[in-house]
Homo-oligomer: A and B are copies of this chain.
Amino acid sequence: MDKIIEPKVLKGFRDSLPEQEIRKKKMFKELEETFSSFGFVPIDTPVLEYTDVLLGKGGGETDKQVYSFKDNGERDVSMRFDLTVPLARFIAANKSDIIFPFKRYHISKVWRGENTQRGRYREFYQCDFDIVGSDSPAADIEILMMMKASLERLGIGGFKIYLSNRGILTRFLEINGIQDKSPEILRIIDKLAKIGKEKVKELLKELTDESKCDKILDFINPEGSFDKTLDKLITLCNGDNSETDRLKIIYKALKENGIEDYYILDPTITRGLDYYTGLVFETFLDGNRDLGSVLSGGRYNNLASLYTNEQLPGIGASIGLDRLIAAIEKSEDSKKAQAMCDCIIFNIDDDLIGALYKTAGEIRKKGISCEVYPENKKLNKQFAYAEKKNIPAGVIIGKDENESGTITVKDLIARKNYEKIKIDDGIEKIVSIVREVKVNGTT
């Protein structure tokens, strides 16, 4: 006998078993339906691209994590490590076919050779949505509203979207003559939640004098409400300006839609990355801030500058799917066993296979998924199969039933039998058993 190969999976990679995969597909479907309902359209890009196209001028931390290699044609190629760079490349390559403002979403896998000791995976999904080609406050509002709609569609109840405008901070630093320290200050502010106010002050003191430190600390300290915080920012910026005006417009629209309570103006939100220029936001689940932001993003003024001279402002957000899945898996709802099929027809007589499949077809017509057990095995074995797949309704068709045009329906949850009832009535019974389970779960 040949030697067996150990069926091992690479470190940082994992199989997705049916239960996980069903849950993930349901999640993606809910997100896609939400995005589509806002007029967003899907795209896809190749998993492999030219390395110099993906990494651009490169040289950063990310580069070292990218899966790069020479293909059989000696081309330098890389697997995509995010969906933002491919979006920029896609837009530059397909400009004439794209309808601007371009509202697109993209849910797909990306790969990074990250350190798996930190609990990270090397293959994971990203889910991005962007509006590219518009600098309007309406685009900001739309993204903010779609963020809320997406999380609600996923059944995530308590969350808040914390937002700010990088332009206001920039203006404030200019007024105080410390704009040259902007990147360092941003990085320090970004750490506030982690290291606390005292430590932030200490770090700021290394950059500027005490009075300016205090001003910065005042700047990043949210007041009791969106309006009050905004008023303070206006004061600290010596009056209204285009950035604070934009926040006013955004907040007014949120209020007119009665959803303003989901949005917190929080000047500590800066998003470390350099390319954001306007609105920035992060989303935390109520009582679960430690999980980190589950939905973040912001406005950028030039997405595709690596690939085209055309200026393409936009705004985008990215869902932290792994974090969300972790949060959802902890919820009560997800602990309910999932039915992998609604109904099973047991096989007690091989001569009747044709009839079993015919009945299965009738049941499917009612929108009920239905499988036939493919072998005439002992019934307790077939029952065990049904139980493992959490199938709520069962059907038995023996010679008696087949001759009399009836079926025996088994409620596999309540463990009740409805013997030899007419096929139509039996199917109705199955529909009601399945409906019951969809409402109450199988356990």
Contact = CB atoms under 8 A, between A and B. Distances in A.
Given A41-B340, A138-B356, 6 more contacts: A7-B53, A7-B307, A16-B43, A21-B44, A39-B370, A257-B354
B5 A18 contact: no
Contacts of A375: 101, 134, 136, 138-139
A92 interface: yes
A249 B347 CA distance: 15
Interface string A1-29: 11011111111011111100110110001
Q: Which 9 A-B pairs have the closest CB atoms?
A: A39-B371, A256-B354, A69-B69, A18-B41, A39-B341, A253-B354, A13-B46, A16-B44, A7-B92
The secondary-structure label for the interface of chain A is mixed
Which of A42, A53, A109, A249 is packed against the most chain B CB atoms within 10 Å? A42
A327 interface: no
A46 B254 CA distance: 42
Contacts of A141: 353-354, 357
A49 B16 CA distance: 14
Contact of A252 (B41, B101, B354): B354
Contacts of A344: 39
Interface string A34-74: 00111101111111111011001100000011010111110
A53 B5 contact: yes
Contacts of A136: 374-376
Given A10-B46, A361-B257, A138 B39 contact: no
Number of copies: 2
Interface string A235-253: 0000000000000010011
Contact of A89 (B7, B103, B372, B389): B7
A331 B92 CA distance: 31
Interface in A122-147: 123, 131, 134, 136-139, 141-142, 145
Nearest to A109: B47
Contacts of A256: 354-355, 357-358
19 contacts: A2-B57, A4-B309, A5-B53, A6-B53, A7-B304, A13-B46, A14-B46, A16-B44, A16-B45, A18-B43, A38-B364, A41-B340, A69-B69, A134-B374, A138-B372, A142-B372, A145-B357, A256-B357, A257-B358
